[in-house]
Amino acid sequence: MKVELFMSLSPSRFLLAGLLLGGSLLAMPARAAGDAETYRQLDQLMDVFERVRAEYVDKVDDRKLLEGAINGMLAALDPHSSFLNARDFETMRTQTEGEYGGLGIEVTMEDGVVKVVSPIDDTPASRAGVKSGDYITHINKEPVFGLSLTEAVAKMKGPAKSSITLTIVREGQDKPFDLRLTRETIALRPVKFEARGTIGYIRVAQFSKPTGPGVRTALTTLQKQIGPANVTGYIVDLRRNPGGLLDQAIEVADAFLERGEVVSQRGRRKEDIQRYHARAGDLAAGKPVVVLVDGASASASEIVAGALQDQRRALVIGERTFGKGSVQTLIPLTQDTALRLTTARYYTPAGRSVQEQGIEPDIEVPQLSDVDGKRPQMREADLRNHLLNGAKIGERSEESDSKPDPRFSATAESLKKQGITDYQLDYAIKLLQRLGRGGAKVALN
């Protein structure tokens, strides 16, 4: 039976079967009995491959066909697993370590079009008014439908100072509209900070290699500017932060913790558990901390918010976060290609899975603006093929533990008259001022 099965495969089919199953060819006969149906399906895949090569209306590149098959396989798993060819691999490296020419926008693919997860602060996309939840249907008047996410992203990247036109479909607007943007060199400046009176404000836009050191520098500098004894507290703004590197999320949370677990990740097998703990030394010296989040705070942002919330180190305010609680591992395939594969879910110190559900704020604070109040928010649970929550440890009720503040009586119009353009930030500042007057320990316990 084993011999007959492999004899039925052509040399190219035999090789492809071995590659797709991830085993050595010499080991395949011993596994064949249990994988007979799988090999029959692979045989069908090769039938399609060879028929396309022979009869498709235009000559097709074999590499393009095989890469398409791989991408289709990974797209069937979840929205975050993908194959990185040489171009994608270099793009990912520059986005986490250096700089690149583009628009500064985090996107996903949904129903054949590009959907915006979040624009990055101070980039062409954010300045042009691109919003979370927008659909990009055309790039330079050419339809996106039919392109892979990788191809669409490649079209949006380009040399600095070059122009691009995006056609946007936005819920609540009757017609699509065009935005003309000029690409820039997107330099990674993920951390900004300033003293607002006696309050230290730290904005974290994404989690790349400079993020952890940037937060530590921010804390040190702010203490010098304000005076260590005069600091009322800190605001860590993670709104519209799409995430990034796990180690940088751990480093940021660690900066505010004296001890304790930051996050754990749990894989397919029970023994696949990794735990990450804070090192001694709270750089904020125990001062009150408020973390600002919204529906576009994702992944690494949720790790930080969940850790400081569970450790009772910070009050999390704003809106429920995005809900991306999965871990992607980069598996090199060749020198310049790799597989980005979802290998685990991560959990907060209290054992909560963030996947689908997100982090519920301690105090729900709406933005109360005319635009943001009417715009629907996309989250992980809205993405096709998203992972289910899968949490049995520390399961949460479907009901939110957060409680809207009864003092929300302001309107967008009344805020404008007061000169308040960011209600959530204004609320966080006033909350810290109250904590400073009334005692942080009582408020945070």
Question: Of 132, 208, 299, 353, which residue is the catalytic one?
Answer: 299
The reply to whether 324 belongs to the active site is yes
Lowest mean pLDDT among 79-83, 342-346, 390-394, 417-421: 390-394
Would you call 72 helix, strand, or coil by DSSP?
helix
Question: Of 324, 353, 362, 402, which residue is the catalytic one?
Answer: 324
Mean pLDDT of the 389-417 span: 54
Mean pLDDT of the 46-52 span: 91
The reply to whether 59 belongs to the active site is no
List all residues 6 or more positions away from 241 whose beta carbon is below 8 Å from its beta carbon.
118, 204, 205, 206, 207, 296, 297, 298, 300, 301
Which residues face 207 on adjacent strands? 244
End-to-end CA distance of the chain: 67
Q: Which domains does the chain have, with CATH numbers?
A: 2-60 (no CATH), 99-187 (2.30.42.10), 191-444 (3.90.226.10)
Question: Of 88, 121, 310, 362, which residue is the catalytic one?
Answer: 310
CA-to-CA distance for 360 and 296, rounded, in angstroms?
13
Tokens 């997107």 -> residue: 186
Encode pLDDT of 170-221 as tens digits. Answer: 988 889 999 999 999 877 678 999 999 999 999 998 898 899 999 999 999 9
The reply to whether 414 belongs to the active site is no
Distance of CA 362 to the CA centre of its chain: 22
pLDDT confidence band for 283 (50 / 70 / 90): very high
Give the pTM: 0.69
List all residues 6 or more positions away from 313 whose beta carbon is below 8 Å from its beta carbon.
256, 257, 289, 307, 444
User: Dihedrals φ, ψ of 149, to 5°?
Assistant: -60, -40
Would you call 368 helix, strand, or coil by DSSP?
coil
Please provide the DSSP assignment of 201-253 as one string. Answer: EEEE--BSTTHHHHHHHHHHHHHHHH-GGG--EEEEE-TT---B-HHHHHHHH
Between 402 and 227, whose confidence is greater? 227
Question: CB 220: neighbour CB atoms within 10 A?
Answer: 11
**pLDDT at residue number 328:** 84
Would you call 52 helix, strand, or coil by DSSP?
helix
Share of the chain above pLDDT 70, in %: 77
Structure tokens at 369: 């603006």
Task: Flag whether pLDDT at 47 surpasses 60.
Answer: yes
CA-to-CA distance for 305 and 312, rounded, in angstroms?
11
pLDDT confidence band for 22 (50 / 70 / 90): very low
List all residues 6 or more positions away from 20 whose beta carbon is below 8 Å from its beta carbon.
42
Would you call 131 helix, strand, or coil by DSSP?
coil
Which helix (H) or strand (E) segment holds residue 289: the answer is strand 289-293
**pLDDT at residue number 386:** 64
CA-to-CA distance for 187 and 95, rounded, in angstroms?
9
pLDDT confidence band for 393 (50 / 70 / 90): very low
